[in-house]
Amino acid sequence: MPVPASTVLGLRLETARAAARLSRRQLAERSGVSASMIHKVGTAERKPSGQVLEALARVLHTTPEYLLGGPVRTDSGVHHAIPGLQRVIAAYDLPEDGQVRTLPKLAAAVDLAVEDRLQSRYTRLAEQTPALLAELFRAVDQARGREHEQAAYLLALALRSADSVAYKYGYRDLSARLVELMRWAASLASDPALTAAAAYVRMETFFAADQLGPGLRSLRAAIDQLPAPSSEPLAAAGAALHMRAAVTAGRLRLPNEARAHLREAELLAHRVRERVYDGTAVGPDSLEIHRLSVAVELGDPADLRAAVDAADRWSPPHEMPAERRSHYYIDLGRAQVQLGRPHHAAEALLVARQIAPQHVREHGQVRTELATMVRLTRGRDDQVLALARWAKAV
């Protein structure tokens, strides 16, 4: 469920106050706002006036917009490249004249884009994807027969890479458009495993809109429509859908369904080699990462302790994509926060940052996690505070 605006305001006020290491009394003295009002705003009992917000924000070295729950944006060069991406997809069905390389050369370029996504190199990906997409739109427009399907397959993978940038950097409308174009390209490619990959990615749209119920239904439908896992790509596609469905069911607090999807994912994941299939890392190691994710979403203390204990015995292999490895440590940090261990959570996030700094800095759950850690430590843990400021969680 969406968090009420008054609750967001209260949480952000308390986070900023903790980061400034001010008591409510000290904040009241410096801002001229009564301690009673600060308490009521922090506990979501009162909605402050604009004058009160201005006074509090000034003392806390932040802005009223931040306190009210406005979007947090880093200074990444990605934002400068987004307009180029928007222009290209606006005219996807009316491609301009230009070069079209051979399919093998286009495939090599798409492989590089996919690798940039998997290794969280988002700035380069944002800068280079518009030109690649423009060329692929031309290729799909011009090709016929089997070459048309191959061009559409490459286009779907490139669109997925572009979507990763749009989604992670908060361009949710653009992300939704890219997902729909990926689904369209997958339908042209006539590849059921790629269609399943598009359904996997579509879940981002449901996450962004806080429509988890419809999203879970869409994953169930995609699982039902997938052919029998008679090949490695189909088995991997099924495993990926079940893993994402398990996480979604966990977030909905449906433990029986979450664990049922994990069991199905396990059966399929152990039939394939750990590698990237149609843009998604799938295999036994990816399954272990999703076990932790499900435990975090369900929030059961016993499961969380078991997952944290398991992390002492297992870690993602170095050869796995950086994005997936860093996500494991993000979730490990979330588990530690839920167990009331902010210092351990900070250690996990530092590992995640070392693996994939861009991914960690732009991850919405990381900001929420760090804000909670700042409040738990009352701003007195310098390591936590430094991480929170780096990620613009405060």
Which residue matches tokens 């305001």? Answer: 9
* Residue 307 within a domain: no
- Please indicate, yes or no, if residue 225 is contained in any of the structural domains: yes
117: amino acid identity, one letter:
R
Full 3-state SS string of 360-383: HHCCHHHHHHHHHHHHHHCCCCHH
> Mean pLDDT lowest for which of 10-19, 74-83, 308-317?
74-83
Alpha-carbon gap, residue 275 to 338, rounded angstroms: 31
Report the pLDDT value the prediction gives residue 5, as an integer from 0 to 100: 62
Tell me, yes or no, whether 112 lies in a domain.
yes
CB 277 within 8 A of CB 193: yes
What percent of the chain is modeled with pLDDT above 70?
97
Same domain, 103 and 181: yes
Out of 67, 83, 112, pick the residue that ends a domain: 67
| Nearest Cα residue to 345 out of 281, 391, 279, 288 | 391
Same domain, 342 and 282: no
Q: DSSP string of 64-132?
A: HHHHTTPPP----THHHHHHHHHHHHHTTTSPPS-----HHHHHHHHHHHHHHHHTT-HHHHHHHHHHH
* 290/196 same-domain check: yes
Query: Are 129 and 105 in the same domain?
Result: yes
User: Could you tell me if residue 178 is inside a domain?
Assistant: yes
Please check whether residue 106 is in contact with residue 133, taking contact to mean a CB–CB distance below 8 angstroms: no
Say if residue 202 is in the same domain as residue 148. Answer: no
Burial of 99 (0-12, 13-18, 19+ CB in 10 A): exposed
Give mean pLDDT, residues 231-258: 98
pLDDT for 11 equals 87
- State whether 274 and 322 are in the same domain: no
**Domain co-membership, 84 together with 154:** yes
Of the two residues 108 and 169, the one the predictor is more confident about is: 108
pLDDT reported for residue 102: 97
Task: Look at residues 67, 91, 119 and tell me which one is the last residue of a structural domain.
Answer: 67
pLDDT of residue 75: 57
* Residues 160 and 215 both lie in one domain: no
Per the prediction, the chain carries an average pLDDT of: 93
pLDDT tens for 284-315 read 999 999 999 999 999 999 999 999 999 999 99
Beta strands in the chain (DSSP E): 275-277, 280-282
Q: Say how many domains are in the chain.
A: 4
Which long-range contacts (C-beta less than 8 Å, at least 24 apart) are formed by 178-184? 178/89, 179/204, 179/205, 181/89, 181/92, 182/156
Confidence of residue 72 (pLDDT cuts 50, 70, 90): low
Q: Are residues 220 and 137 in the same domain?
A: no
How does pLDDT run across 184-198, given as a tens digit for each residue? 999 999 999 999 999
Residue 283: predicted pLDDT? 97
**41 domain-assigned:** yes
pLDDT at 40: 87
C-alpha dist (Å) from residue 137 to 82, 93, 184, 281, 291: 18, 7, 12, 26, 38
What confidence tens digit (pLDDT) does each residue in 330-382 have? 999 999 999 999 999 999 999 999 999 999 998 888 998 999 999 989 899 99
In this structure, is residue 37 part of a structural domain?
yes
In DSSP terms, 281 is beta-bridged to: 276
79 & 183 share domain: yes
Query: 254: helix, coil or strand?
Result: coil
pLDDT tens per residue, range 119-168: 999 999 999 999 999 999 999 999 999 999 999 999 999 999 999 999 99
In a domain, 306, yes or no: no
Helix or strand run (H / E) with residue 54: helix 50-60
Looking at the fold, whether 182 and 243 belong to one and the same domain comes out as no
- pTM of the predicted structure, to 2 decimals: 0.87
Same domain, yes or no: 143 and 183:
yes
* Domain end point (choices 190, 225, 258): 190
Q: Is 291 in contact with 316 (CB distance < 8 Å)?
A: no
pLDDT band of residue 1 (cuts 50, 70, 90) is very low
User: Which pLDDT score is estimated for 7?
Assistant: 80
Report if residue 56 sits inside a domain.
yes
State the CATH number of the domain containing residue 45: 1.10.260.40
Domain of residue 186: give its range.
Answer: 75-190
